[in-house]
Amino acid sequence: MADIAAVGLVSAIVQFADFSCKFIPRFNEFNSNARKAPKSLEYIKTRLPLLAKTLDGIKAQVEAGCVDSATKAAVQEVVDGSFKEIKLLNDIMNEITPKNTDSRARKVIKSFESLRSEEKIQDINKRLKNYIVALTLHQIAPTSVPIQSETGPLFAMPFERDTKFIGRLDIIRQLDDKFSTGRRAALAGIGGVGKSQIAIEYCYRFRDRHPQSCVFWVQATTKARIEQSYREIARKAKLPGHEDPKADMLRLVLIWLSEKSAPQHLIVFDNVDDVEELPQPSSTNAITGVNRDFFIPRSENGKFLITTRDRRIGKTLLNGEEPVKVLPFSPEDSRNLMQSRITFLDKEKSGYLDDLIGELDYLPLAITQAAAFINENDITVEEYLQAFRNDDLDRQVLLSQELDDLRRSGDTPNAVFRSLKLSFDQIARQMRKAADMLSLMAVLDRQGIPKLILRTYSSSNVEYIKSTGTLMAFSLITKEKGGNSFKMHRLVKVCMQHWLELRNESQRWQSFVIKILAGVFPRPNFESFETREVCETLYPHVQASLQYSNMSGKVELMQAHLFSFMAK
């Protein structure tokens, strides 16, 4: 049976938070209408957020069952008193706040009434200050009962170790360096580059070095998956209340691991790709604001590793520090990975292997996916390479093949296309202009995409910077030397073209890019060095656009003009 006192206290705290949240606009309204606001009101306005945050901490401890009865009773008295003071202040403000409908004389009278109310408001301010001190003492008082686990060191990993793990020693060393000076580190890179695989290997190495420590894995694709992972941690640690389906397990685990008595631990937060999917405190409101890293314990005994496709999220969760960037494999590591995955490999035709890993842009997921297809269909590397190079349709089909991999989460795509599609969909949902820019780039040549074209498409320089910044943060494009052009990864282009086809948008973007090129391509004037330089920059993109067919008559005419310009 639920603790009645605890339920009542939690309810009172929630009511106070809601009332306080609605009360803030009253201050702003008063300041905008009153000639002179009492100084004590300003003090109260700054103290309310402190009061709300302190109550939020008390609420978490109560919900976790680590506050004794005497403390709950004392806190309940303080909460009731604070609520009473805020209601009293609300009544005073109703009397002294000028209204738009008031006459000038009435507003003057209320202004004098506000000055006469200064003493009453000062008294309310003093009492609220005392309540904050009392609540803070209760929040850290030794009468609270620390949460204890009933188990020893836990290694709660959902994945087996990859006995054929290849390379990445430089990244593992970087993580060691990060953790030697801090408690957080992050891996950022394009989908399929192997961030999760590095994290899995790091967990096993951490366990080998620290056998008395705990290791936990949190699947962070959605808020629901984060909460589910924390519930699983509470269950395995046998924390008090872990069997209660209504208990807030996220809070319980956060409090447990934030205790000084908590065991040494490493937690991996895998696939933190969308800030909108991060859990927030139940009392988040206009006062307390948004807390992006609420789900990460405040622990002196913990280390926390984050994997993300979006470099900006990693930077935010690291308080401004850059994440470790995970790039595709080197040719040597790519070759070793492919050789370790293919059941039978004709060494005499190893040249085809080098060609294939190059076509796959040295992306680990693409290499593993290709090896699985070769094994399952009993074909050679040469045959796979021929199919991959055959045409766009074959490439898209091959990159969409699902791979059975026990070291990837059930909700993490095992095909290159589906993995990249997650990024495409998220960008389209959250920043349409960036998705449009990526669509435009997908119908150009994938290298040397000039700022000239992209800036022409953008309505402002700020929009251009934000769009390219988003695409670079997701590692879908990279800036070329000099900073005036970009290139798109080979597989990103193939998958992006497939994405456009599924949305029936390919021809629209092909037509659009022809119109842009027709507008920016200089009329032949080989006396001008600048003209020749621009023509050379645009040449591969015009050449790509001339391959598009079934255009409207007007667009076909533009293609003809572009062809004639190039011929000259």
pLDDT digits (tens, 9 = 90+) for 366-416: 999 899 888 888 888 888 898 888 877 788 888 887 766 555 555 556 678
Residues 166 and 313 in one domain: yes
Please tell me whether residues 466 and 365 are part of one structural domain. Answer: no
Mean pLDDT of 177-200: 94
**Which residues are paired to 387 by β-bridges?**
none
Residues 310 and 358 reside in one and the same domain? no
Instruction: Give the strands of the sheet with 302-308, arranged side by side.
Output: 155-156, 214-219, 265-270, 302-308, 184-188, 324-325
What pLDDT shows up at residue 36? 55
Per-residue pLDDT, 197:
94
Domain boundary among 269, 293, 325: 325
Is position 418 within any domain? no
The answer to whether residue 138 scores a pLDDT higher than 70 is no
- Residue 24 has a pLDDT of 65
Average pLDDT, the chain: 81
Quote the pLDDT of residue 288: 40
47 and 118 together in one domain? yes
pLDDT at 124: 78
Residue-number span of the structural domain to which 347 is assigned: 331-400
Helices (H), 97-164: 104-116, 118-140
Does residue 149 form part of some domain? no
136 shares its domain with 160: no
Q: Is 150 inside a domain boundary?
A: no
- Tokens of residue 340, six digits: 């370790």
Given a cut of 70, is residue 134 above it in pLDDT?
Answer: no
Residues 450 and 497 in one domain: yes
Same structural domain, 161 and 86:
no
pTM of the model: 0.71
Find how far residue 177's CA is from the centre of its chain: 23
Same domain, 118 and 92: yes
The answer to whether residue 410 sits within a structural domain is no
Q: How confident is the model at residue 564 (pLDDT cuts 50, 70, 90)?
A: confident
Same domain, 106 and 209: no
User: What is the arithmetic mean of pLDDT over 538-551?
Assistant: 85
Confidence of residue 464 (pLDDT cuts 50, 70, 90): very high
- Whichever domain contains 298, its CATH number is 3.40.50.300
Q: Are residues 391 and 509 part of one domain?
A: no
Domain end, chosen from 110, 140, 170, is at 140
The answer to whether the Cα torsion of 107, 109, 115, 116 is positive or negative is negative
Band (261; pLDDT cuts 50, 70, 90): confident
Q: Which residues contact 209 (CB under 8 A, 6 or more apart)?
A: none
Residue 135 has pLDDT above 70, yes or no: no
pLDDT band at 148 (very low <50, low <70, confident <90, very high): low
What pLDDT was estimated at residue 217?
A: 95
Residue 304, Cα to own-chain centre: how many angstroms?
A: 15
Residue 18 has pLDDT above 70, yes or no: yes
Mean pLDDT of 55-67: 69
The dihedral through the CA atoms of 200, 204, 209, 211 has a sign that is positive
Could you tell me if residue 368 is inside a domain? yes
Asked which of 298, 325, 352 is the last residue of a domain, the reply is 325
Nearest C-alpha neighbor of 86 from the set 46, 34, 124: 124
Residues 110 and 10 in one domain: yes
In a domain, 408, yes or no: no
Counting every residue, how long is the chain?
568
Question: Which range (14-18, 52-56, 232-236, 453-457) has the least confidence?
Answer: 52-56
Q: Where does the pLDDT of residue 562 fall: very low under 50, low under 70, confident under 90, or very high at 90 and above? A: confident
Share of the chain above pLDDT 70, in %: 78
Is position 414 within any domain?
no
Cα dist. 315→103, 186, 272, 306 in Å? 54, 8, 12, 10
Which of 493 and 41 is assigned the larger pLDDT? 493
Predicted confidence (pLDDT) per residue in 270-300, tens digit: 999 988 888 776 544 444 444 667 788 888 8
pLDDT at 64: 62
Closest CA to 444 of 524, 530, 546, 560: 546
CA angle 434, 408, 262 (to 5 degrees): 100
Tell me 275's DSSP state: G
Residue 251 — very low, low, confident or very high, per pLDDT cuts 50/70/90? Answer: confident
User: In this predicted structure, which of 156-170, 188-202, 474-488, 541-555 has the lowest mean pLDDT?
Assistant: 541-555
Q: Tell me: do 136 and 9 sit in the same domain.
A: yes
* pLDDT confidence band for 345 (50 / 70 / 90): confident
Task: Please give the Cα distance from 534 to 448 (Å, whole number).
Answer: 12
Contact 194, 407 (CB under 8 A): no
Q: Per the structure, how many domains does the chain have?
A: 4
The band of 1, judged by pLDDT with boundaries at 50, 70 and 90, is: very low
412 assigned to some structural domain: no
